[in-house]
Every structure is written in structure tokens, then in C-alpha cells.
Structure 1
Amino acid sequence: MAGVIASVRRTLLSCTSLARSSYIGFAATVLTAVTPARAEAAMLDAAAELFDLNRQELGTLTITAGVLGFTVLATIQLMRTRMRAAACEARLRDDIQSLQIESDRFRALLFTEPQVLISWAAGDNRPQISGDIALLVPPTQDGPPQPHRVLAFGTWMAPEPALRMDHAVDALLESGESFVLNLVTSTGRSIEAMGRAVGGQAIVRIRELSGLRRELAEMTDRYRALHEETEMLRDFAFAAPWPIWTRRANGELTFANAAYARAAEATSITDAVQHNVELLDSHDRDALTRGLNDSAAFNARLPIVVGGERRMFDVYAQKVRGGSAGMAIDVNEAAALKTSLARMADSHRRTLDQLSSGVAVFDEQHRLAFYNDSYRRLFDLDTAFLDSNPDESTLLDKLRAARKLPEQADFRAWKTRLYDAYRAVDATKDVWYLPDGRALSIVTTPNLEGGVTYLFDDVTEKLDLARRYDALITVQRETLDNLAEAVAVFGSNGCARLFNPSFTRLWNLSEEALQQQPHIETVIDWCRPLFDNGATWQTLRTAITSIENRVPVPLKLQRKDGSVLACLTMPLPDGATMLTFQDITDTENVERALRERNEALEAADQMKIDFVHHVSYELRSPLTTIIGFAHFLSDPTTGPLTDKQGEYLGYITSSTNALLAIINNILDLATIDAGAMTLNLGPVDILKAIDAASEGIQDRLARDHITLDVQADAEIGQFIADERRVVQVLYNLLANAVGFSPQQSTITLKAERTATDIVFTVIDRGPGIAPEVQEKVFDWFESHSNGSRHRGAGLGLSLVRSFVELHGGKVRIDSVVGQGTTLTCSFPIDQSQQRHAAE
């Protein structure tokens, strides 16, 4: 400041008065703008001293010069700003130069080792990549590697680490999550990838590991892998279903899994370890300790009680560093399975022994491991020789010497081909023709575990049967061709496979056309000129081509030429269908005539039955009147009768009663024949029924001096039936016996109870019935008077059989001519149960 004021003083001394005044005002203004207030005051004092002016005068001068000073004030301010800007720019240049020097120093320090830096600015997805790119991406033939290829991690790393790197970088960019990864490139370099969020930027540094850091990284990876493997093994040991444990050298339990705790009946794994719960008993533990001390390993099958059940375990233990480890595997199921497998194998051997086929099994050493008795008998070999497990070569040589192998020009080559089965994959079949005339079918099957199984079958009879079958087919072909019946066989596809000449003649078909195996549709079209019934042909087509419901279908064809054919489709076992046609025109005509005659006879028989039924009703009405008047005349109140009139009236009464019985029997038979007869079922007292039936023939017994012998147990009891019809059956049986019995003879009536039936038997000593007419005695109006004293209507035994069968019983007649007749009737004890069972 003092220098500035001295300069102003020198300027003022050299100026005029007016100029001085102007300059003083200008200098004061400038100094006021440039310097502080005290500088202005000092300037004014210097001016007053030079010009001998007081301060008022100087003030006046200053105001005078103010106008001029203000003019240049702006210029001075602009100069001042430019000077400050120049000074600031100089300082900034110095700072930038210093920062550049410091940046170069840091960059040189940062890249003293090979590494790659990748940085992402905030809000910018385009990263800045710097460093030794060749560290990660090798150069190509086109030139140095491109920096952007560094971000394609999969191009310079394996897929798994590349995926880890991708996820780590994504987490860093999205949430600023830091990471440190030790990776290996595709070229085998060990690298460290470190990611950080610094100053609003995401920075990833990738550098190659070497020396101690590389060893540390590798050791870290090994530790991590070992830790993962250990955890994996530990998790497996915890989850394993077998008891697993580890112990220290002093026997203290250090680890046990859940299966160990369950098997040792501990409350938990912690309880088992803390209380050193033992799994084995003391004797087995001592054996395990001795085994570990002697051979560092122990393996034995020991019993362990688990849940109150004694089970077998395979216990494995191994001495390891610091103690021992063990495992127990439950082999109860395996032992049972092994036993079952042994039983199954033994069963299979026993089964093979029962086979008619010869079986021989050779192991991988070509030695006989198994044979059955059929094999021994097939080749007539010695049991002791086979039990010695001979090799296949020795066995074949022995069979060749006994001439029990096929004759071969080169036996050695043949045997070598036989040995190829040991290296084969699929089974092979062959037939051996032995010198003794036998033919053996041999199936050679390679075994999965090595060796070969031979299966021998004597097919001599089979081949002989095949030859006979061929001959039989030829005979059948000739037989078929000579049949009068038309035959055609259609296959499962509906095409004609077989036919005979009768078929072609019957339908006027061409043999050459049928040999082309036409379809049934075509054959039907050829046959339509003679028979054009679409429904019948559709039935035949369905029967031939149908897959299900294959049943014989009989048909009758009335052809246009007036002939009648009987047609039958017969399904064959192989899926084919045989179609036969037979000309039954003559048979049909005869059958038609017979049918018409039979219908006429049936109509006549029905007319006879209707006539008898009608006449019986017509006779019954006047007969009832006659009986009524006869009883009226016999009544004393009507007046006295002469002896002759009484005798005649007795004849009328007996005749009308007999006629009424005959009419009633005819009506009963007609009712039964019409199916209108019903039974009034109820309990029947057997003895009372016999008495009621016997009472009706007492007069005839007395007249002919015939004795009735009733043989029935007093406790025979009752059974369920229609009492009226049972009495009627017994009466007719006794009446028939009286009619054929000679005087002074005996009739026997037996009543017996069995488990299911009541059996009545009536025996007479009459002339008997010839065998050829025994069945006819049960027919209507069949009356045989041979040996009888009267000729009846022939309805009694017909009614007997009808009433017994209506009850569900049976009637049997046994008679020998000259010795008498036995009639047996059996009634079911409970008629209601009998009818229920029938329904």
C-alpha cells in the first residue's frame, strides 16, 4: 500500500493544479474501490500534505473528480474479475496437475498386480472396464480381447461358477450386497472376485490369486467342500434308518443318530450321548472291543433287542483317528428273504425234478451245476458221475462214446459251435436226431449270472404225430371232398379258405373263383340268384365275421327252385367258421306230412277228452236224479216194496253208485289233465286215512273171503297232504288189489315213514303183470282183465299216479307174472316245503 501511495505522490508533483485536482479525485475513487477505508484516508492525508490543502478542500476536489472516477470504475471492476478468474484458473490447473499426478501414482499402485476393474456409476447400466483383460479373456486371432467379453462370464468360466458370479453381480447392482468369491477360470487360473458399493458406484475387482493368497483361497475352498461333505454325511447319518455311532478311544459315546436312540430305547439323541446308552450287551461289546484292538475292524451278526423284539443286526465297526465308528444294519428281513430264496430255489429244484423235460445247468466254468432226473434218464447216465460235477466237454465225450449224440463229421467243430451259447445273448433252439432213432428238441438259454441252461425234450412222438397229422389232414380233405353235404370254411377275416365240390354244385359256383379265397360278401352275391333273402344272408354274414358271441346258428333256406336247405354255422377254435348246407327237401316234405298228421291226432285226442268231459257232465245230471229217486223209493215212508222190487232197487243203487264213481274219476282226470286241479293241503292222520280207505272195500273183502293185512306203526303220525285225495289213492290201490287177488288170499298194506317221505305199499298175490304192459296200466281206460274177476273202466291206477305226482311223489310198480304185484306210492312229508323248493 505504501508503494501505491508513493507512486500517486510522484504523479501529482508532475501535474498542473487542475490536473492534480482531477487526478487526486480519480486516485481517491480508485483507491476507495480497490483498498480498504484506511487506505483512502491515508491517500487523502498525503494529498493535503502535498498541496497544502485542508480536508474540506480535498473533499470538494474529490466530489469534483468523482464523476470522472465513476466512469472508469466499471472498467476497473472488470479488470479485477478477470484477474481473479485468471488466478483461479491457474490454481485449478495446479490442482488438476497434482490430482493427475496422484491418480497416476494410485493407478500404478493399483495395477502393480494383474487385475480387472468393473465399475457401474449410479443410474448408468454401462460399466467401465479397465485392467488386464487378457487375465480373463484370452486374445483371439482377430486381435486383443474386447473388454465387454469380461461380462460374459460363461465364456471364461465353467457354468456353475459363472452362475454364481451372475447372481452375485445382480445382488450388488440391485441392493448393494457385497461379495467375495474364489473362482477358477476355464484356463485353470485361480481368481478372486470382490464386489463393493463405493461412493454411489458398484465396483467389481477381479484379480489372480498367487502365493499365500492362492493357498489361502484353495484352503478355504477345501475347507468349505470338506465342511459341506461333513454336513452332508452328518445329515445322512442322522436320517439313516440304521443305528450309527462314534466313540472316543475310552469308549465314551460322542455321536449317535435317531435310529441308534430308538434302538437303544433312549428318550432322545442327547440323552443317548450324555448318558452313554449302550446298544449291545456287555458280551458283544467286549467282542467288538477285542476285534477293534486286534484288527482295527469288527464285523459280526449280533442279536439286539429293539422294542421288546429280538432282531438280528449286521454290526460293522472301524477304528478311526481318536476312537471308533460303527453301524448296525437290520438283517431280519434280509435273513428271512435269504431263507425264503433258499426255499424257493429248493422248490424250483424239486419242481424241475418233476418235469418230464430234461434240464441241465452248467456254470460259467462249463461245469455241471444242476440236473434233474429226467435228464439222467434221457441219456441213461450214472448218478455218481453227474454228482461229481463234470465239465461239459467230458460229458459230451461220454455221450458221444455211448452214441447218444447226433453223428457229426467234425465233432470238434460241432462242440465249439455248442460252446458259443456261453457268449450268446438270446436262447437258441435245435433238434438232435440220435442214432437210436430218437429226436430231441434242445433249447439253449444263456444264464444272466454266467453259464448255460439246456432244456431237452423227446419229440420223437411229436414228430411222428405231426406226420400222422399231415396224413390225417389229407384223409380229411378227401373225406370232405366226397361228402354229399356242402361244406365251406371261412377264416376269421371272412374269406373262404376251404370248400368241397358239393358246395360248388349246390350253389352253381366256380371252383376256380372260390380258390381265390373271396370274401363272404362276394360269395353271397354269387348265391343271390338262387336265394335272395337279405335278413338270412345278414345273419350268416354276422355269424362268420363276428368276434364275440360265436355260437352255432341253425337256419333253413327255402330257395327259388323249390328246394329246402338246412344251414348251420359252426365256430371253429382257430377263429374260423364252418358253413354247411344240406338238401332236406325230401325230409321237409315228409316232416310236413307227419306234422299235419300229428296235429290231426292231437286235435282228435283233444276232441276225445272234450267229449268225455262233456258226456261225463251230461251223464252226471240224470244219474244224480236216478240215485235220488232210488233212495226215495227205498225210504219206508214212500210205501212198502215187494221183495223183487227191493232186489231190483238194490241193483239200481249199486249200479248208479259205481257209475257215479266212474264219472267222478273221469272228471278228476279231465281236471288234472287241464291243469285246474288244486290240492286242499292239511295234516293227514295216516292211520285214519288207511281205515277210511279200507272201509270202502269191506264188502268186497267179505264177499271174496280176502284178508287185508295192514302193517303200520301206531306212532306213524301225520304228514301234510290233501286227505281226501290220499284216501282216494289208497282206496283205488286196495280196489285194484282186490280185483286181481284170488279168493282166500291176503292183501298187504304197508305204511312207512322215512326221513323225507311217507311210503304206502300194496301187495297182492294175483297173476301179476307182464313187463311189456306194466307202464300201460296207468293209462286212461286201460283195463287188463287177465286174472281179474271183473272188468273195470281202467281209471283207478291213472288217478293214483295223477294224484301222487300232483303231491310231488312217485309211483312204482313191481310185478312178476304168477307171483303177484306190488304198487308203491311215496308222498313228501311236508307238501308245503316241497312246493316252495319247486318254486
Structure 2
Amino acid sequence: MTEMGADLLSATIALLSLSVCVLATLFVRERRGRAREVRRREDLSDGMVLRARNGRITDLSDAAAELPGAAPGAMLTDVIASAIGQRRDEVQTALARLIETGEPMHLLARRTAGGQCEVIGFPSGGESVLVLRDARLIAAELERAETALARRERSLSAGWYERETIATLLEIGATIAWHRTADGAVSWCAGQVRTEMGAVAAEQVVTFLGVRPPQREAADGIDRTRIEILPPGGIEPVSLSVVEVLKPDGRRFGFATDASNAVTAERTLSRFVQTMTETFAHLTVGLAIFDRNQKLALFNPALAQMLQLDPATLAARPTLSDLVDAMRRTRRIPETGDYHLWRRQLLGLFDDTEVVDYEDTWHLADGSSINVLARPHPHGSLAFVFDDVSERMRLEQNYRRSVDLRHATLNRLEEGLAVFGADGLLQFVNDAFHDIWGTDADSICAGMHAREVMRLCQGLTIETEVWRRVTGFITSDETRRALSARVTLGSSRILSARLAPLPGGASMVVFADITDSERIALALRERNEALEAVEEMRTAVLDQISHRLRTPLNTIFGFGQLLGDPRFGTLTPDQRDYADGILEASGQLLDTIDDVTELASLQLDPLHDEGADPPLAETLELTRQLLDKRAVEAGVVLATELPDAAIKLRCDAVRLRQIVFNMVAGAIQRSPSGTRILLSATEPQPGRVEIVVTERREAEIPLADFAEDGESLAFSVIRRMVVNEGGRFERRRGTRPSDAVSVCSFDRGAAEESPSRASHEARPQPLPLTR
């Protein structure tokens, strides 16, 4: 606060104190003057006059005779005590001083009979004179004076508080105040505004206002503006809100306050409005807000695109009625039989905007659908939201179709299917379930609990413990794993029950009738046992052949060699021919036994199932791998020319392997050391496949025994197997006289109708297991 302001405040307070003292002095002097005036007056006929000596009444006027107990000789104090009702003690005290010391008295009191009275007492010639006069006028005047004095005191106190408040605000840096004359000169200024950016003094504000261009005066005589001033040492300006009150004589009273919060709020609001505008601009739903006059006040670009209207048309703020007409021209409203009635219902939303709750789906002519939502907006406005739900409705339709298709598919299954929710309630059951259990849609339907369904199933089966596990699996919240079980119906039918967990805590139970599968499995087990018995018999036969034939044959072969040994004597030419014949026949018999043993001991190919169409190249390569060691031991080179992998034969895989194996094994056994054996397969003409084993010997010596070799037991067995598969087998000479070629030819069409295949297909095949 400046020194001028402090002096002005002190002067005002002193002036008010002086006024109070003057008024009090005047009032006291007035009361004393009245007392002296009364004493000076000789005629006191306008009041009740009582004279007393030594406290007793000696004389009284006619008016005083009306007082209770007033009579000569009565005690003056008793009479006054009975006459005065209010301020009695003060009157008695003043009366006692008058009687004892002669001190005058002048008081206002209320009489017992009612009304204000003026009590005046003074000494007179050794007596005490007491006058009681009606004091209504004096009391009213005095009350007015006291009221005025109290009002004046309150005004002075309010002015003091007001000045103290203003001084405090100016001191703490909350505001700046000033006074400017009509010519713009600053007559007084004080205060400062403290902010986070710094403090702005009053001199900076009034200096800035003095150099500011003249502003247009407000109509109400108050000039409001906002300025920015850089505080000393600050880096950012401080925003101040300035208010100046213009007086008719040109003087200005002004003050300035911190406007930083208001500026921050305005900037925040501006950013919020900008953000909302950008948000509305990027919304995929159309937004339209109509004011209380039904004019379009706000819209976003999505609305123009969805309604297929020009944005300029929407920017012209059309009414809702005009907008609906424009939408009708672009066919962006639903097809309706009475357009005018539909429009009136839409416009009727403005009748009471506070309770509007409109929501409808418009199905347009182009097949699209728009969900329209109307809700109240402040100040009687309406907000419309247009949402294109075409894609959503297509997805819902596709979803419903997929659900219906899924249900139809599940109803076509042979397995009985039941789906339970996480709460254990049945959600879906297919027709096969009813067929298996002999139920219908009335006895088992959606909404039944798993315990009820399982209790019904338990009554139709022999097993009981399995249903407790099934019920626990469906209703348990613990970690579940898929499990399966078997149950037997009372009709001896066998069912398989498989339980699998589904997402969301749901469960699925699948029942399949496996009665036929179980019977086939039993037959297969019996057949397997029979095959195992046959295998044991075959092993026993092989043992018998090896023991019963090889042992005597070895004896004959050994004695034949002894007969031809010169150490045991010289033989004649005929005897030597006989001994050589014995050895040759024994060797042929030994080879035959070896062929039979190998043929009987040949195992199934683990790479192919019975009846499969074997890849030819894979069969040739596998044969080479099996016989490669034997060829090396015999000094024979075994090679293969693999055909195209796509060439296949429609024949039994085991039979084909036996044929190729025996062809190559016989060639190795017959060929002398140094022979090259080539295993190959060709397709000389479409639909005809040949498997060729070529024996190329080193010495070009013609095969004298070729005809007899072709009629051997091994070739007979091979020829029979080939014929059974629908093919032909032949053995012929090669390009050289010393070469021999074994050929198996298969016609694919003939192979399909081969006796071996027919017999194989006639065998009972294992049926596929039901799911």
C-alpha cells in the first residue's frame, strides 16, 4: 500500500472518532441543560410534584396525589418505589443521594401504571423536590438519537472492516486497485498480484493501461478486459483480468486479479472442444444434433457419407423435416406405406425432448441396415446416432445359419451327442442320442441337469459306477481330461461313452453303439489265435523238414562222396557215374529243400498292409537290400534299375514280394561266381508291367541245361504264384547264349480280377471303428 493510501485511511478513522465524541458531548450537555431549566422554572404544574424534608413528604400537587401511598408524612422513597416499575434501583439510588447530599437527579424510567416518565430531583430551601413528568416525546427523541448513534457506529465499524479487508487483499498480492482521473492520470494505485511466473506491481498495470489504445466503452459503464504483462525477471507473461468502472464525470475506478486459472481453463476447454471435434470427425457412426428449433446444429462427416448427402447441404443447417425429405430422395429411409405418417411420428419426438427414447433399425432399399438412436440433449435439443449395422446383421445371419447347419450336421451323426454347460445344464442333444437310449424330446430336453439325464441313463444300463464319474466330470470345476468308458444296456447292446471338455467349462458326452465292432473284434481275436496256431504248426513243419529231410540227405551225400574217394578204392567208370548221379540228385534235393524252407519262412512285409497296391520301385529296392549279402557271398553282382515311382501294381504286396524274392534268390543260387544279375521293371506298353531278372555270365558258354532249368521246382512255384496274381511267367535266353532272363508280366486289368485278389477280398476284413 502506498503512503498516500495509508494517510487517507488514518484521516478517515480520526474524523469518525471526532464525530462520535462531539455527539456524546452534545447529548450530555442537553440533559444537564434540561435539569437546570427545570430548577429555574417556578411553575411545575405540568408534572407530579412532591416536596419532602428528611425523607418524608411535606407537600404534593394534585397530580401527585394519584401516586400509590402519596400523602403528607409518607416516606418519599416508598412512594417512588411503588410508582416506578423499570430502573427502580437507579431511581432509588439517585433519590437517596438527593435526600442526603442534595445532588440533583434526572432519569428516565417506566411507571408501574405504564408509560415513560422523566424523574427530576433537586434541593430547594432545605427540602427535596421531586417531579415526575410524562416523557414519551423525550424517550422517542432519545431512542431515535441512540438508534442513529448505533447506526453511525456500525457504519464506522463496517467502513473500518472494509478498509482493513481491502488493505489486506492489497498486501497479500491477491489484487491490484487504482483510481484514474478524467484525463487518465493515476491519482492512486496499490497492491500487487503474485503468481508462479512472478509478481506484477500496480505501477506496471496502470502504466500498461495508460499506453493501451482507447477501448470501446461498455454499455453498462464497466470495461472488462484481459491483459498479459511480463513480470520483472520472468520468462512467461502473467494473464490479468482487468475491470474498470467508468463514472459519468470520466473518473475510473479499477482493479486487476490473476486470470491464469481462467486462461488455463479456457485453453483446456478449447483443446477439449477440438478433441471432441476431431473425435466426431473420425467416428464411423453418423452423429446429428438438432437444436430446439429442429435445425441441424452439429454433424460429422460419417453422417454425410452414410446418408449420401452433400456436406454443403448439411452445413446449411436444414431442419429435421427438410433432412428427412432429402433422405427420401436418396432412398436412405426405410420403405413405408405412409411416408407422411412416418415423418410426423419422427418429428413428434420434439414434443417432449426430456423423455425421448427412440431406437429403430431402418432397412434400406439397397439391402443395408442402419440403427437409428435418438436421445435427449441439453436445452431441448435432440441427438441422433446413425450406425450402419449391415455387416453386423450379415454376420449374425451367417452365425445363425452356421449354428443351424451345425445342429443339422450333429443330428445326422450316428453317435449320440449331448452338450452340457458349465452350470451342468443340458444345452443340446441330437436325434441319435434319443435313438440309442430310446428317449424323446419330452423326456430329455435342454435345461435338464446332468444328474437327471445320467440318472435316466443309469436305469437302462448294467453298470452304475461309471455314471458317477460321468456326472462328476460334467459338474466338476477341477482340471478335466478326456476319458472314455463302456456300458452295457439291458438288451445286451454295448455302448462306448467318451467325455471331452469344451471351452468355457462346458462338456460333451458322445455315445456310440459298438455292439457290431465288439463282435468283429471278438472274431478277429479268434482268427488271430488261429493264425498263431498255424504259425506254430508252420514252425513245427519247418523243424521237421530240417530234421527229417536234411539229416538223411546229408548222410546220402556224405556216403556218395566217400564212394567217389580214391582212398577207399578204385571205381569202375559205371560205378563212378552212379556215385556222381547220387551226388547230383542229393544236391538237387538239397536245393529244393532250401527253396521250400525259404518260401515257408518268408515273413510279411512290415511296410505294406495286405491288399495294398505296392510301389514297384520300393519292392525292388527292398529285395536288393535283403539279398545283397547273399549275392556277395556267392560272388555275384546284384544291381537294380528302379522304375518310375508312380508305377504301381494292383496286386497283393506280400505275393509280389515273394515272387520277386524267389526270382532273385534262384538266380543267385544258379549263377556261378562273377555273374551280374540285374533286377528291373518296365512298362513296355500302357497297362502292362514286366519285372525282369537278367543273369549275365562272364564266359559266353551256351546254357546246355536251359530247358531243364526252366522246369525246376523253384520256377514252378514262382509260375503258380504269378498266375494266381493274374500274370504270366516265362524264362528265355538273353541277347547272348550265356545269358538267361526271367520275366513276370502283369496286365493291370487282369490283376484286378485275379483269383488271389478275389480270395483276399473274400476274407473278412476288419470294420472301421465307430467314432
TM-score (norm 2): 0.43
Which one has the bigger helix percentage? 1
More relative contact order in 1 or in 2 (CA 8 Å, sep 6+)?
2
TM-score (norm 1): 0.40
